[in-house]
Amino acid sequence: NGHHKEAGKEESKRRSQSLPILGNGPTSIAEDTISLPDVVQPSNADKATKPFNTVDKLNSEMKELVNQESRYSAKLEDAEKRASEAETKVFELRRRLDDVERDASLKECNIERLKAELDAACRECEGIRGRLRTQDAEIDSLRLKSSNQEDELNLKYQNLEVEMLELTEKLKDTRQMANELNVQLVEAKAEAETLRLEKEKLQEERAEEQKIIKEALELALKERSQVEAKWKCDFEQLRTHHSDREEHLMEDCEWKLRSMQKNCKEKLEAVERERKAAIDKAARLEQENRNNMAEAIRLRSFEGEATKLRGLTNDQKETLTVMTRQIDRLRNELEDASNKLEAEIVKAQQLKTRCEYQICEKEREALNRI
């Protein structure tokens, strides 16, 4: 580009130096034209022979030269005009050439910059492709891991379904057991009521019997005292005559005392058997309550597993939600049944304690009376 600019400057200098020469052209031509008559002047012999012809010829030639000069001047002006126009066009073309060269240099710079950017973009694309390949490998590994986890979750879900079926069966059994316990509680209440009535009846009968025994004892003691008094009175008088009668009366009194003691002992044994039966029944109900509580605790242990499984798929969540609600409902029912059973057991134990206390009191009173 610098070489072209220097060549253009030298060409413009050369043309500018040549233009004044062209401008001085008409003057030189005119001077030459003016000096032409001197050159073509005739000799003295010709002047003598043909003076008029030479002047006419010179005049005609002068006119012709003047015409030629005018034509040359017009052509020179035209040539100068064309030269100035050509020079203007040359300057315009040089200016355009300089603009084109500047644009070309700018475009070359832009091309170099774009090439550098393209190289950087290519390198970045290679890095991105490498990262994409790495990400594809990671995605493949994640898909494999996800498939493995999905298989594990499916297996866990199947196991949970089996466990839920087992739990459902166990809950059915628990419900049935709760129903049976309710029936047993009703029966226990009925039996407790029956035992209470029987106990009251036995207490009444025992009171009557104790009253009768007391009256009989008082009567027997009275009779014995009377008999002893009479016996002592008559013993001295009728020792020899009534020895057989005295022995018979003593044996009769002892037999009555033994029979009364036997009846009291049998009744006390019957009351003791009933007390032991009530105690055994209360212990059995308490053992059943412990079993039910253990079953409830075992069912509560499945609540944690159900909570862990809430992070599964939506279908599994819905299924587990339904199953958890069923478990909660059954657990509440079981807790209610357990609470009722505990209340009934407490009532039975209280009743058993009262019965034992009353029986002990009656036994002590009976023993004291006997």
Return d(Cα 370, Cα 361) in angstroms, integer: 14
**Residue that has been written with the tokens 């594990």 in this structure:** 152
Sign of CA dihedral 136, 141, 144, 149: negative
Q: Are 188 and 285 in contact (CB under 8 A)?
A: yes
Task: Give the list of residues 6+ apart from residue 46 with CB closer than 8 angstroms, or none.
Answer: 54
Q: What is the pTM of this model?
A: 0.25
Q: Give the chain's length.
A: 370
> Identity (one letter) of the amino acid at 275?
R
Return d(Cα 320, Cα 255) in angstroms, integer: 79
Coil, strand, or helix at residue 285?
helix
Per-residue pLDDT tens over the stretch 82-114: 888 888 988 998 898 888 888 888 988 988 888
Q: Are 192 and 277 in contact (CB under 8 A)?
A: no
Return d(Cα 302, Cα 167) in angstroms, integer: 9
- For residue 144, the Cα-to-chain-centroid distance in whole angstroms is 21
Q: What pLDDT does residue 121 have?
A: 77
Map out the domains of the chain as residue ranges: 2-136, 158-218+258-369
Q: What pLDDT does residue 63 have?
A: 85
Q: What are phi and psi of 35, to 5 degrees?
A: -80, -5
- Which residues in 263-299 are b (16+ Cβ under 10 Å) and which e? ebeebbeebeebbeebeebbeebbebbeebeebbeeb
Intervals of the chain under pLDDT 50: 1-5, 7, 9, 15-42, 45-49, 242, 309-310, 312
Query: In whole angstroms, how far apart are CA 238 and each of 60, 189, 229, 370?
Result: 236, 66, 13, 33
- What is 28-91 written as a DSSP string? HHHHHHHHHHHHTPPPHHHHHH-HHHHHHHHHHHHHHHHHHHHHHHHHHHHHHHHHHHHHHHHH
